[in-house]
A = this chain, B = another copy of it.
Amino acid sequence: MAIKNAFYAQSGGVTAVINASACGVIQTARKHPEAIGTVYAGRNGIIGALREELIDTNEESEETIAALMHTPGGAFGSCRYKLKNFTENKREYERLIEVFQAHNIGYFFYNGGGDSQDTAFKVSQLADRMGYPITCIGVPKTVDNDLPFTDCCPGFGSVAKYIATSTLEASLDIKSMCESSTKVFILEVMGRHAGWIAASGGLAGQGEGEPPHVILFPEIPFDRDAFLKRVEHCVENYGYCVVVASEGAQYEDGRFLADAGSKDAFGHTQLGGVAPALANMTKQALGYKYHWAVADYLQRAARHIGSATDVEQAYAVGKAAVEMAIAGKQALMPTIVREQSRPYRWHIGEANLSDVANQEKKMPIHFITDDGFGITQDCRDYLEPLIHGESFPPFENGLPKVAKIQGVLAEKKLKTSFDI
């Protein structure tokens, strides 16, 4: 079998463990010199391929590659860029082939979410439509946990652990302040379309009255009156109320709470503020003193409290992707298959990219309590194993140590440049 080089790229919003998948891809490829030559990482994802900006990972030491295991963000750069359809922009695909040919690339590993799996699928079609042989394997990644066919998605477990931990910690804070001060605390979390991350906040408490007292899911239309009634009930009975709100929380008519709320001094709608919107709503209706937090990037970059399970699975899908490619498989994505929850057992499965592309996995309705404000035992049984185990990074001078990629680019072989 002829030795071919590989192209690896990170795509879409990054996570605390996407670099662990990169580590899995690169270390596994290095173990198979009989099949894979150099692994080139796209500088800023697929854009790097189009621009012929290929990071030569052979220039990175074994120590640096190993350090990817505990480095958040996308070490090679990611992008938000979706390839159009063949018919719409054939030129993009022709360019990719030119670049792949010029650098003898026969393997394409694309590390991302739904859109990215769609891109990987389109690239796989190159093989047929344009007669260029290339093996395409998708590597799953998303904090939103909304990819189909896989039981969970690398990146989610660590966010879930961070949100559950932060909810627990902040709840102890407000609980100690509520007698004479703050009564309501609202934590806004990610998840524009699916409530998986918000649900993970529910792991912080269990019994009647334990925080979080209210979880707002994108899957459940927001009912202002029911929400305010619930908050009032909690403050009157427990002394305080902790709310975990998804950024995707929306009204019946589909308006996001984040957009429905406030305007700035110039009259522009202020985006991305479910928490402040809810805080003001509560203050106006009930008069309670409030605090609110918006975790934003902090939650998906929080490698310092990474889930050991998540880190292990992130590495495993990268490793599996390379092994599938070497085995001659095509247009697949490795998946996480759960065997059982207690004790947690899982193995790697596979799904067709054609099936994965552009689908979203929402929360099953039986994971949400009847009142729409909490998670069920089924949901706990699903979530708990995913935050299991602590994968702390090494620290130096009080701060996490991270991989520093040199990012040496392979010499360009094409005369033409390409404008994105």
Hey, which bits of chain A sit against chain B, CB under 8 A? 10, 13-14, 16, 44-45, 47, 71-81, 161, 164-166, 168-177, 179-181, 185, 187, 203-204, 260-266, 268, 270, 272-273, 275-277, 280, 284, 291-298, 300-305, 307, 384, 387-390, 392, 395, 397-400, 402, 420
23 contacts between A and B (CB under 8 A): A13-B177, A14-B177, A71-B172, A77-B179, A79-B181, A81-B180, A165-B399, A166-B301, A168-B402, A169-B304, A170-B296, A170-B298, A172-B301, A173-B297, A173-B301, A204-B399, A261-B265, A264-B277, A266-B280, A272-B276, A293-B296, A293-B298, A388-B398
Whether A284 pairs with B268 at a CB distance below 8 angstroms is yes
Whether A390 pairs with B395 at a CB distance below 8 angstroms is yes
By beta carbon, the residue of chain B nearest A185 is B297
By beta carbon, the residue of chain B nearest A81 is B180
**Identical subunits present:** 2
- A77-B176, A81-B180, A384-B397 known; A276-B280 Cβ under 8 A: no
- A73-B169, A294-B294 known; A305-B307 Cβ under 8 A: no
By beta carbon, the residue of chain B nearest A289 is B80
Contacts of A398 in B (CB 8 A): 161, 164, 203, 307, 384, 387-390
Interface centre among A74, A80, A165, A292 (most CB of B within 10 A): A165
Whether B168 pairs with A399 at a CB distance below 8 angstroms is yes
Whether B400 pairs with A177 at a CB distance below 8 angstroms is no
By beta carbon, the residue of chain B nearest A280 is B264
Q: Min CB distance, A27 to chain B, in Å?
A: 20
- Complex CA–CA separation, A17 to B322 (angstroms): 46
Whether A301 pairs with B170 at a CB distance below 8 angstroms is yes
- Complex CA–CA separation, A72 to B388 (angstroms): 21
Q: Min CB distance, A166 to chain B, in Å?
A: 5
Contacts of A273 in B (CB 8 A): 273, 276
13 new A-B contacts at CB < 8 Å, known A270-B270, A291-B297? A72-B172, A75-B176, A79-B177, A164-B398, A169-B304, A169-B400, A173-B300, A262-B270, A268-B280, A273-B276, A304-B305, A388-B398, A390-B392
Whether B305 pairs with A297 at a CB distance below 8 angstroms is no
Interface centre among A76, A81, A179 (most CB of B within 10 A): A179
By beta carbon, the residue of chain B nearest A13 is B177
Q: Min CB distance, A418 to chain B, in Å?
A: 14
Whether A265 pairs with B276 at a CB distance below 8 angstroms is no
- Complex CA–CA separation, A264 to B75 (angstroms): 39
Q: Min CB distance, A175 to chain B, in Å?
A: 6
- Complex CA–CA separation, A323 to B295 (angstroms): 41
